[in-house]
């Protein structure tokens, strides 16, 4: 007997036992034909399942309208006093047998099959859950600025932050890092311990904040939100309030001051040759990125005081020009001045190339560029000598410089400071030439331990909560 037959037979036997009220087959009274029919149904089901059944008719009295059939191997014999049931009763018996068989099959469909299905679903879920967990990647720092998930949130701009949040971060705006005629820089600390810079306009009244000021502020937010480069001080958020009047930008914080201070202030740590080459390549990669945006972005004031240094000495370009622009009387170009605007952008990109050449001079010489351009004139004179060497301008504190790298830098400087802007190379050409000689990749030129991801995550969470 297979497992299915045993199961069906056991179920039917239990049904028979419950129907007889717990009596054994030998105690069945002859006046209960329905009980015998139930045994008939059991035997019929057993035959349907191909289960051998031992004859039990001797235990059942032969009286009544029907008898329990013998085994299929023995011919059926009628009792002398037995009267064959009429056709209608036989038909009723047949329907009863089919009814019980149908109920048995339905019991299988309703109970057994759903139970098996539930077990299969549970097993599948137990198998898929570990696979799903193993497929989830840990979110880490990104290669080109923002992480994948945060990049989606920053596509349409940066979050607007509330003034009380910034007050708490900056200790009621008592932690002043620097103060200038047009803006003040505060140092703040988020609850995660990440440091930020909060830059605020010096304008304290809405009467002094014109439509032109608001337009400049909005355009700068849009421009800075598109930077997305690890060698740029990225914009994390902004704050605007009418009472009290507030216009602020929240930026990354660079703890090692400006490049100007590191090159010219004795209180700052000296930067060796390799560190300066890393700064040069970080600047080149970042400026090229800005120039190749659509539309391109030119830095309005590219000099050593606009370059901050990260904790590990990587260059971080910052743009604070908006705070001067909001008080200027300039006007944005009208619709009919589109061609003139494009010319201005092209001229600004060429001016960035010139400024980059001057920055190279300042970095390798350690000397301040002056308004009279005497440093540029000295560089041209040095380059135009027979051996085209830059050694005469080299910072005497640099003892570990490489002659081949210095020679390439001299050629790049010469190309960048051409008087005719049309003769100056593009930043893509400059970057390719410098990388070939210096060999510092974009990844090596960026900060290795940037807290930007954590700062953005907390700022974004605070903005969503408000």
- Torsion angle (degrees, nearest 10) of CA 270, 275, 277, 278: -140
Distances (CA, A) of 429 to 106, 285, 289, 343, 438: 80, 11, 13, 21, 14
What 8-state DSSP symbol labels residue 341? H
Distances (CA, A) of 111 to 12, 118, 411: 15, 11, 86
Query: CA neighbours within 13 Å on the CB side: how many for 43?
Result: 17
Angle at 144 between CA 151 and CA 215, to 5 degrees: 60
If we measure between CA atoms, which residue out of 447, 66, 72 comes closest to residue 231? 447
Tokens 């994390």 correspond to what residue?
Answer: 236
For residue 299, what are its two tokens? Answer: 């830095």
Catalytic-labelled residue, pool 172, 222, 301, 312:
301
Q: How far apart are CA 295 and CA 301, in angstroms?
A: 18
Distances (CA, A) of 248 to 220, 229, 257, 290, 361: 12, 21, 21, 23, 34
Distances (CA, A) of 401 to 274, 393, 438: 8, 13, 11
Residues 6+ apart with CB under 8 A from 436: 408
Angle at 268 between CA 263 and CA 274, to 5 degrees: 55
Q: How far apart are CA 273 and CA 301, in angstroms?
A: 25
Q: How far apart are CA 281 and CA 445, in angstroms?
A: 6
DSSP reduced 3-state for 415: helix
For residue 10, what are its two tokens? Answer: 């056991």
Burial per residue of 110-146, b for 16 or more beta-carbon CB atoms within 10 angstroms, e otherwise:
eeeeeeeeeeeeeeeeeeeeeeeeeeeeeeebbeebb
Q: How far apart are CA 315 and CA 149, in angstroms?
A: 25
In the annotation, is 301 catalytic? yes
Task: Answer positive or negative: Cα dihedral of 158, 214, 223, 192.
Answer: negative
Q: How far apart are CA 310 and CA 269, in angstroms?
A: 13
For residue 457, what are its two tokens? Answer: 């995550």
If we measure between CA atoms, which residue out of 406, 430, 411, 408 comes closest to residue 350? 430
Give 258's strand partners. Answer: 308
Residues with a known catalytic role: 301
């Amino acid at each position: 007997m297979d497992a299915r037959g045993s199961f069906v037979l056991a179920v039917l036997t239990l049904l028979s036992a419950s129907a007889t009220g717990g009596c054994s087959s030998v105690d069945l009274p002859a006046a209960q034909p329905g009980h015998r029919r139930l045994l008939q149904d059991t035997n019929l089901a057993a035959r349907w399942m191909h289960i051998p059944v031992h004859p039990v008719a001797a235990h059942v009295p032969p009286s009544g309208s029907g008898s329990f059939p013998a085994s299929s191997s023995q011919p059926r014999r009628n009792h002398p006093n037995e009267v064959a049931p009429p056709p209608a009763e036989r038909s009723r018996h047949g329907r009863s047998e089919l009814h019980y068989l149908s109920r048995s099959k339905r019991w299988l469909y309703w109970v057994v099959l759903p139970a098996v299905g539930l077990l299969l679903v549970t097993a599948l879920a137990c198998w898929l859950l570990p696979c799903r967990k193993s497929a989830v990647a840990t979110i880490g720092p990104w290669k080109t600025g923002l992480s994948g998930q945060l990049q989606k949130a920053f596509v349409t701009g940066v979050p607007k932050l509330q003034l009380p949040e910034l007050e708490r971060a900056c200790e009621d705006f008592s932690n002043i890092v620097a103060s200038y005629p047009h803006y003040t820089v505060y140092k703040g600390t988020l609850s995660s311990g990440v440091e930020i810079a909060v830059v605020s306009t010096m304008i304290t009244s809405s009467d002094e904040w014109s439509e032109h000021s608001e337009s400049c502020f909005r355009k700068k937010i849009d421009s800075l939100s598109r930077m997305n480069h690890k060698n740029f001080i990225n914009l994390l958020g902004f704050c605007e309030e009418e009472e009290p009047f507030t216009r602020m930008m929240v930026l990354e914080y660079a703890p090692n001051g400006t490049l100007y201070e590191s090159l010219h202030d004795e209180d700052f740590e000296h930067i060796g040759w390799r560190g300066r080459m890393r700064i040069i390549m970080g600047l080149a990669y970042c400026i090229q990125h800005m120039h190749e945006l659509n539309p391109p972005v030119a830095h309005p004031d590219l000099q050593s005081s606009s370059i901050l240094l990260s904790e590990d000495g990587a260059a971080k370009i910052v743009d604070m020009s908006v705070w001067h622009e909001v008080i200027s009387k300039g006007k944005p170009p009208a619709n009919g001045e589109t061609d003139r605007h494009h010319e201005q952008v092209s001229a600004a990109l060429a001016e960035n190339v010139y400024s980059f050449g001057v920055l190279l001079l300042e970095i390798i010489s350690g000397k301040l560029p002056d308004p009279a351009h005497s440093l540029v004139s000295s560089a041209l004179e040095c380059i135009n000598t027979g051996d085209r060497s830059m050694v005469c301008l080299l910072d005497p504190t640099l003892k570990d410089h490489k002659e081949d790298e210095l020679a390439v830098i001299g050629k790049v400087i010469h190309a960048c400071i051409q008087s005719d802007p049309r003769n100056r190379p593009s930043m893509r050409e400059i970057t390719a030439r410098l990388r070939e000689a210096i060999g510092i990749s974009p990844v090596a030129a960026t900060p290795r331990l940037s807290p930007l991801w954590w700062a953005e995550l907390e700022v974004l969470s605070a903005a969503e909560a408000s």
